[in-house]
Amino acid sequence: MSKAPPGADRDELTTAARGVLLDALWALEPHLDRLTVVGGQAVHLRTSPAPLRSAAYTSDGDLHLDPRGIAEQPRIEEALRAAGFARKHADLPGLWQRTVAVGGVPTKVAVDLLTGFTLVRGGRRSADIEPHDRMAVNRVRGLETAAVDRSAMVIGSLDPRDDRAVTVHVAGEVALLVAKAHKIGDRLEQRAARPDRLVDKDAGDVYRIMVTADAGAVAAAFTALLAHPVVGEVTGIGLRLLRRQFGARDTEGVRMAVAALAGDVPETRVRVVMPAFVARLPRV
């Protein structure tokens, strides 16, 4: 996640994050067919009609790279560096950042380049996508579904002075729900050692998806993806996690969503809507 300068305006940071995401997409344009916008940017794009006072926001960008059939040139790491990006941590793969002005203050805005863990071999996090640098992309469990459940959208800048727009694949609702369920599950397992990594906003994003998506269409998409030879297993694990986290009124995920949406959505509504949505989904 990008580190905001003290007192930074949330809208300005969101605008900067969209601009830096476009920078990354522009740099990786020859690989665009292998890229899918995931994470907070995808939630923002998929849930913009959400009937909530507080808009979805994000201070960084996440891109999923499907390594299957990716071109050898340009090299990912070279293309990003040529566009002004640098690795955020020498020992953590796939975490890139670029310095831009936010409220007149130089700010490092992150773009994480990720791939589904089971789609490629590698280390615990690094990805062996030859001939690309093995530290260019981060392997993450739960993102595999985004390689299949995605559709093209036009993404434009949020800055009126920037007229750029690009057509790129954006993760669908099932892919987003599966990824969020995996992420929340991982954070819940680690909370004793790393309580700072468990963020209520992730559950709030799940609520946003649920109130803007058609439950019947999501259920049908889940059914199809569960049978997919590449992403079916990961999708099934995500669905089971989703049911555990949001399938009843007082589950941990629902409590997180209540906290994230406090002052915006009545607690009773959150506790009714989320289990009702999960009840419409297939059982595995």
Average pLDDT over residues 72-80: 98
3-state secondary structure of 268: helix
Average pLDDT over residues 37-52: 88
Domain spans of the chain?
10-171, 173-279
Side-chain half-sphere of 29: how many Cα atoms within 13 Å? 9
pLDDT value at 280 more than 70? yes
Cα separation, 103 vs 112, in Å, equals: 23
Domain 10-171 CATH assignment equals 1.10.3470:
no
Q: What is the token pair recorded at 274?
A: 């989320």
Q: Are strands 138-140 and 35-38 parallel, antiparallel or unpaired?
A: unpaired
Determine contact, residues 61/20, Cβ cutoff 8 Å: yes
98-114 per-position pLDDT tens digit:
999 998 999 999 999 99
pLDDT value at 205 more than 60? yes
Q: What is the token pair recorded at 41?
A: 């940017």
Q: Which residue has the tokens 């995931």?
A: 38
Average pLDDT over residues 154-177: 97
Going from the C-alpha of 227 to that of each of 38, 196, 235, 249, the distances in angstroms are 22, 36, 9, 29
Distance separating the N- and C-terminal Cα atoms of the chain: 33
Q: What is the pTM of this model?
A: 0.95
Where in the chain does DSSP place strands (E)? 35-38, 61-65, 86-87, 95-102, 105-116, 138-140, 150-156, 165-171
Work out the angle at residue 173's Cα, subtended by the Cα atoms of residues 14 and 41, and round it to the nearest 5 degrees: 15
Average pLDDT over residues 239-259: 98
Please name which of 82, 114, 117 lies closest in space to residue 98, comparing C-alpha atoms: 82
Q: What is the pLDDT of residue 7?
A: 62
Q: What is the pLDDT of residue 49?
A: 72
Q: What is the token pair recorded at 50?
A: 């959400």
Q: 122 phi and psi, to 5 degrees? A: 170, -160
DSSP secondary structure letter of residue 126:
B
Cα separation, 221 vs 226, in Å, equals: 9
